[in-house]
C-alpha cells in the first residue's frame, strides 16, 4: 500500500511520516521544485540500494545529494570560490554542483557510485523542510523507472512506482518541471554537465564567464547519467516537425500551428504565450499525455534554442534518441 499525503493540507503529518519512513531506511517520493525525487538517507547503504532497485538504475550512475542549508553542505563537500558564488546566488534552486567530497563525509559510496566527487543541491520547497527535519542529506534521483520520463506530479510517481513505494508526498505540480542544471567548476572554468531548470545565461551574467558546453568541454560523458536515450516515452519522437502526419500526436510551442495538425490524434501547446518557463513546466506531463493517446509517434514543433529552451530541446533529443 502506498500512502499519499498532501503537504498543502497536512504539512505536519507529511513531515512526520517522511522522517519516520526515511528513518526506517525506506525511500520516500518527495516534491522538489524541479521534479519529484525518490529520496533516501544518503548515509544508509540499505536505503540507497532500495533506490537503485526501485528505479532499475545502473549502480555506476551516482545520485545527487540534497541538503537543507549551507552548514549541511559544508559538512560534505569542499567549495571553490566560483562554486560558492553560484551556490550563494542560486540555492535553494535548480542548480547541482559537482564538488570534491570531504573525507569521512559519511555519504555512502553507493550514493556517489564510488566517485570522489559529490553532486549536491539545496532544493526549494517542501523537500527542503523534510531534509531540515530529518537532519541528514537525502540522496534522490528523479522518482521514475530508469530511462523513463521524470515525474512532475505525485500522480506520475504513483502511476510508475506506486506499488513499490511506502510514501509519496504530494505538493502539486512541480514548479519548474525540468531537472536541475548540473555544473562542475574546474580551475577557473565552468563546465555544463547537464542543461536544466537554471538558465545558463543567469550563471554567465553572475560570474562574467562563458559556461563551457558539453561539446566544447571534452569528449567523455561527464555526468554518467547522461546516456543518450533517456526520458523515453513508448511512442517514437520526431523533432522540429514542420508538418504533422495523420494520427501523430503533436506537441507545439507558442501557438504556431503546423500543416496537417487537424488530422493529429492530439494537439498540445507547451505555452501559447511562448513562455519557455511555462513550456518547461508542461513538458514532461505533455509527453506523458501524448504517449497515453496511443499515437505511435509524437511530433514536436520547433522550440527556440535559447534560455530554458536549451534544456527543453536536450530532453526532447534524448526522448528521440535510438533506444538502447
Ligand atoms: O532536479 C534534479 O536534479 C532531480 C531532483 C530530484 O533533485 N534529480 C535528478 O537526479 O535529476 P538524477 O539521478 O535523475 O540525475 C542526476 C545526474 C545524473 O546524470 C548523474 O550521473 C549526475 O547527476 N551526477 C551525480 N553525481 C555526479 C558526480 N559526482 N559527477 C558527475 N555527475 C554526477
Ligand atoms: Mg532522472
Residue-level pLDDT at 228: 59
| Lowest model confidence (mean pLDDT) among 171-185, 215-229, 239-253 | 215-229
Question: CB within 8 A of 170, min separation 6: which ones?
Answer: 4, 5, 6, 7, 31, 153, 154
- Dist. CA 167–CA 31, nearest whole Å: 12
Task: Please provide the CATH number assigned to the domain covering 236-320.
Answer: 3.40.50.11030
| CB distance 226 to ligand 1 below 6 Å | yes
Mean pLDDT of 178-185: 98
**How many angstroms does the Cα of residue 110 sit away from the middle of ligand 1?**
14
pLDDT at position 218, please? 43
Residues in the chain, how many?
A: 324
**Distance of alpha carbon 321 from alpha carbon 99, whole angstroms:** 30
Q: Over pLDDT 90: what percentage of the chain?
A: 84
- DSSP for 227-281? -SS-S--SSEEE-S-SB--TT-EEEESTT---BTGGG-SEEEES-TT--HHHHHH
Report yes or no: 142 and 148 within 8 Å, Cβ to Cβ.
no
Closest-CA residue, ligand 1 atom 32, reads 223
Instruction: Give the strand pairing for 249-252 and 266-269.
Output: parallel
**Structure confidence by residue, pLDDT tens digits, 101-144:** 998 889 998 999 889 999 999 999 999 999 999 999 999 999 99
The model's pLDDT over 13-61, given as tens digits with 9 standing for 90+, comes to: 999 999 999 999 999 999 999 999 999 999 999 999 999 999 998 877 8
Instruction: Print burial letters for 216-237: b (CB count within 10 Å at least 16), e (below 16).
Output: ebeeeebbebeeeebbbbebeb
Confidence of residue 209 (pLDDT cuts 50, 70, 90): very high
Where are the domain boundaries for CATH 3.90.870.10 in the chain?
Answer: 3-212
pLDDT band at 227 (very low <50, low <70, confident <90, very high): low
Distance in Å, CA 146 to ligand 2 centroid: 7
Across the chain, what does the average pLDDT equal? Answer: 93
User: For the chain, how long is the longest CA-to-CA vector?
Assistant: 61
Q: Is 314 in the pocket of ligand 1 (CB under 6 A)?
A: no
Q: Relative to the CA of 194, which ligand 1 atom is closest?
A: 19
CA 101 to CA 118: how far, in whole Å?
Answer: 6
Residue intervals of the chain classified under CATH 3.40.50.11030 are: 236-320
> In CATH, which of 3.40.50.300, 3.90.870.10, 1.10.260.40, 1.20.1440.60 is domain 3-212?
3.90.870.10
Query: The C-alpha cell of 140 is what?
Result: 534522490
Name the residue with cell 523513463.
148
Q: How confident is the model at residue 76 (pLDDT cuts 50, 70, 90)?
A: very high
The answer to whether the bond into 220 is cis (omega within 30° of 0) is no
Q: Which is higher by pLDDT, 320 or 126? A: 126
d(CA 94, CA 27): 21
Residue 324 has pLDDT above 60, yes or no: no
Residue 223, pLDDT > 70, answer no
Q: Kindly tell me if the per-residue pLDDT of 10 is higher than 90.
A: yes
- Ligand 1 in contact with 43 (CB < 6 A)? no
Q: What is the dihedral of CA 276, 265, 231, 195, to 10 degrees?
A: -20
Amino acid at each position: 500500500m502506498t500512502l499519499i499525503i498532501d503537504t498543502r493540507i497536512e504539512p505536519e503529518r507529511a513531515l512526520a511520516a517522511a522522517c519516520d519512513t526515511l528513518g526506517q531506511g525506506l525511500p520516500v517520493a518527495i516534491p522538489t521544485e524541479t521534479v519529484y525525487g525518490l529520496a533516501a538517507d544518503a548515509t544508509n547503504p540499505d536505503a540507497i540500494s532500495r533506490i537503485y532497485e526501485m528505479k532499475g538504475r545502473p549502480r555506476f550512475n551516482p545520485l545527487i545529494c540534497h541538503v537543507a542549508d549551507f552548514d549541511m553542505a559544508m559538512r560534505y563537500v569542499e567549495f571553490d570560490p566560483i562554486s560558492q558564488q553560484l551556490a550563494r546566488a542560486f540555492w535553494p534552486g535548480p542548480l547541482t554542483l559537482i564538488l570534491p567530497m570531504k573525507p569521512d563525509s559519511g555519504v555512502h559510496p553507493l550514493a556517489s557510485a564510488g566517485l570522489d566527487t559529490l553532486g549536491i543541491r539545496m532544493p526549494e520547497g517542501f523537500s527542503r523542510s523534510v531534509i531540515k527535519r530529518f537532519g541528514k542529506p537525502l540522496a534522490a534521483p528523479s522518482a521514475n523507472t530508469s530511462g523513463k520520463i521524470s515525474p512532475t506530479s505525485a500522480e506520475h510517481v504513483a502511476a510508475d512506482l506506486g506499488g513499490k513505494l511506502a510514501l509519496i508526498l504530494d505538493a502539486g505540480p512541480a514548479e519548474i518541471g525540468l531537472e536541475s542544471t548540473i555544473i562542475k567548476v574546474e580551475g577557473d572554468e565552468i563546465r555544463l554537465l547537464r542543461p536544466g531548470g537554471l538558465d545558463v545565461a543567469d550563471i554567465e551574467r553572475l560570474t562574467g564567464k562563458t559556461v563551457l558546453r558539453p561539446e566544447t568541454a571534452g569528449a567523455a560523458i561527464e555526468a554518467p547519467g547522461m546516456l543518450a536515450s533517456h526520458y523515453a516515452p513508448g511512442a517514437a519522437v520526431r523533432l522540429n516537425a514542420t508538418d504533422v502526419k495523420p494520427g501523430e500526436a503533436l506537441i507545439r510551442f507558442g501557438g504556431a500551428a503546423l500543416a496537417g495538425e487537424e488530422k493529429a490524434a492530439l494537439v498540445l501547446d507547451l505555452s501559447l504565450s511562448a513562455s519557455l518557463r511555462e513550456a518547461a513546466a508542461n513538458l514532461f506531463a505533455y509527453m506523458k499525455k501524448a504517449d497515453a493517446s496511443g499515437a505511435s509517434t509524437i511530433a514536436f514543433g520547433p522550440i527556440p534554442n535559447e534560455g530554458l529552451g536549451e534544456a527543453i530541446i536536450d530532453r526532447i533529443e534524448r526522448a528521440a534518441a535510438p533506444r538502447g
